[in-house]
Structure 1
Amino acid sequence: MENVNQQTSKNYNRGQVISLEKGKLPPQATDLEEVVLGAMMIDKKGVDEIIDILNPDVFYKQSHQYIFEAIFKLFENSEPVDLLTVSQQLKKDQKLEAAGGDFYLVQLTQKVSSSAHIEFHARIILQKYIQRSLIKISNEIIEQSYDETTDVFDLLDTAESKLYEVTQGNIKRSSETARELVIQAKKKIEDISNKEGLSGVSSGFERVDKLTSGWQPSDLIIMAGRPGMGKTALTLSMARNVAVDQNIPVAFFSLEMSSVQLITRLISSETGLSSEKLRTGNLEKHEWEQLNVKVKGLEKAPLFIDDTPSLSIFDLRAKARRLASQHGIKLIMIDYLQLMTAGGSQKGGNREQEISTISRNLKALAKELSVPVIALSQLSRAVETRGGSKRPLLSDLRESGAIEQDADIVSFIYRPEYYKIEEWDDEERTPTEGQAEFIIAKHRNGGLDNIRLKFEGHLGRFANLETFDSPFEFQSALNKDDDNPFSTDMPSTSPEQAFGSNMNDDENDVPF
């Protein structure tokens, strides 16, 4: 008896909220639905104008849904759309009677004489559908909110995801004229000239920025490499350059490392204190002072780190949208792609299909928010088994060729020192110690290049590699603080050896 009373009370409470809508008709425009369907059956132009705006679900009446489905099938098969063909298609689908029969189809064609203003009418029908969808979603959220077993953060994500589905499925952009696009392009070119040639977000690496003009809005950038190459270190270095030096908001999604581990690595690279010292806490008094002073810039940086494990592409999209609206993020980084999931609706497919879905959605996210999305990716073991320099190739991308297809830039991180290769395979046979190569293997809007960077393993960071076009530049760098700048005694050592400990000195670190 007690259980019955509890159940009755529970139903009564829910009913109180939902009863607010009782006695009200859902938003609808059945008269416009009739006009639109009639116009589509008498004028081919009407079909062409709205076939990509509407779908069967937006119609309020079930019979109108069946009629639009028949029209859509005829359009897909490149068959003529008129009163007779639609009737024939409905018969084939065994839905003619449910749609109202031939008499109702004739009535629809008699309600309108042309397809004039059909797009305007279709937009109104779509608006009414969105209103109905919002009412339905709101009722579902109310129901779930009364359930004490529901996690409130899951409820928020569910609500946001359902609203996002309504937006994605129904609000579509129309084409723009060449005049409008030319005006936009001219404005963008003017902005670039004011930013010294960078049209995107600067990576902080001079040669990379020169090749890419910065990371471009709406681009998907893949950075791939084998374990141990320094993928996370490189993206953290870039995140630091963007957030600390340029004060540009960055979102970093880490599926592999915790947020505290990541920030500890950033502290290490920022202060020049090794990760081992920070892990043990065995710091001298001056090192504590150094730590407190040098992390102040990092503390103020607009860097947002999310370490949710097994993040689904849908959750990522929801979180990124929230960060974009609340904090105006201009760059998204993901470490790394293979640890993501496609979400509940994609569980039936194989892993390759899942990765394809993820990469496709990452590109869609970049376009939607108009920000560059940088995603790290693993490479297959084919690199290890290959002889020679073991420099990665596009074919080494793991699990899916869709990654290469969807990405605007595909780059690789390569450190020959990891494979015990002591010299670069160039004419000078320069040493590989403390160096890495950033290989741009695909660039949809620019050139390709292999760019060498400085790698400081003990600090877990990358920096610009000092390069000298002539011995005189090298000598002037050595003697910039010397009393005799005209000395011509050339050392036989490399720049790193010549600078000695000064290159790793806390006060003279190359900014990365």
Structure 2
Amino acid sequence: MAREFQNFKKKEARTLADFGDLRTPPHNLEAEQSILGSLMLEKDAVIKVADLLKVGDFYKDIHNTIYETMLELYEQREPLDVLSISNKLDEKKELERIGGSSYLASLVGSVPSASHIVHYAKVVQKKALLRRLILAASEIIEAGFREGDDVEKILDEAKNISNRISCQFVQFWNLPSTELMNFTATETSFAVSRLDLLILITFWLVCKNQTF
């Protein structure tokens, strides 16, 4: 689990700010808190969300750390209560960074039961999907502005980014392709909703800036 989280941070360390976009990416902190609180209320609720959410899907970094720690404790057949999680985080020198035991306790108090955890997980999952789409689109647009690069090279890079992101969603979350389109107008105005469009954007930018 620790290695998985480290790999995630290496691969997705870039943010919208790196591309000059200062807008806040899609996220839902209340849903993230509700998931973590639900897991402390009902340990076996992990089974309901483990296949939906991966370490790195949470927008708030400390929530990824807490979730990763919960998965580690679950694998070790340890309880997922405030004390156990606090001790584990303390061992990892992460307890103070996440806000201490008091923050964990506040998560438990944020939900009355774990009955809606799957709903919360799908909300967080969708927001993570949107953030990755936005980053993929930004990478492709950035590539399109590299006037010195060969057109074929840029298009290949765009295709690789598109394939990487689409394969990730299909393989990791088993989302049907139609579900990628079921976002609200507000969300789709902030994220490219069709991966094919990313290639067209790149091609337009290249044609605009490239001399043939």
TM range (shorter): 0.5 to 0.7
What RMSD, in angstroms, separates the aligned Cα atoms of the two structures? 2.0
- Change in 2 beyond 3 A, CA 1:152/1:126: farther
- Change in 2 beyond 3 A, CA 1:102/1:137: same
- Change in 2 beyond 3 A, CA 1:163/1:123: farther
Give 1:78's aligned residue.
77
Distance 2:146 2:53 in 1: 35
Q: What is the SS of the residue equivalent to 1:58?
A: coil
Unaligned runs of 5+ in 1: 1-17, 175-321, 323-512
Give 1:142's aligned residue.
141
Distance 1:77 1:161 in 2: 38
Distance 2:24 2:67 in 1: 23
Q: Write out aligned runs for 1:458-497 (5 A).
A: none
Structure with higher Rg: it is 1
Task: Indicate conservation of the 8 Å contact 2:69/2:85, yes or no.
Answer: yes
Distance 1:166 1:76 in 2: 28
Give 1:111's aligned residue.
110
The answer on 1:130 being equivalent to 2:129 is yes
Distance apart, 1:160 and its partner CA: 2.8
Which structure has more RCO (C-alpha within 8 Å, separation ≥ 6)? 2
- TM-score of the pair, normalised by structure 1: 0.29
Distance 2:58 2:147 in 1: 35
Distance apart, 1:125 and its partner CA: 0.6
Q: What is the SS of the residue equivalent to 1:70?
A: helix
Distance apart, 1:48 and its partner CA: 1.1
Give 2:152's aligned residue.
153
Q: What is the SS of the residue equivalent to 2:112?
A: coil
Give 1:173's aligned residue.
174
Distance apart, 1:104 and its partner CA: 0.3
The answer on 1:96 being equivalent to 2:89 is no
Give 1:65's aligned residue.
64
Q: Aligned residue pairs: how many? A: 156
- Change in 2 beyond 3 A, CA 1:123/1:164: farther
Query: Which structure shows the bigger proportion of residues in strand conformation?
Result: 1
- TM-score of the pair, normalised by structure 2: 0.67
Distance 2:83 2:165 in 1: 34
Distance 1:78 1:162 in 2: 38
Distance apart, 1:134 and its partner CA: 1.4
Q: What is the SS of the residue equivalent to 1:56?
A: coil
Identity of aligned residues (%): 32
Code of the aligned partner of 1:136: L
Code of the aligned partner of 1:72: L
Q: Write out aligned runs for 1:221-240 (5 A).
A: none
Distance 1:133 1:27 in 2: 10
Query: Which structure shows the bigger proportion of residues in helix conformation?
Result: 2
Unaligned runs of 5+ in 2: 1-18, 176-195, 197-212
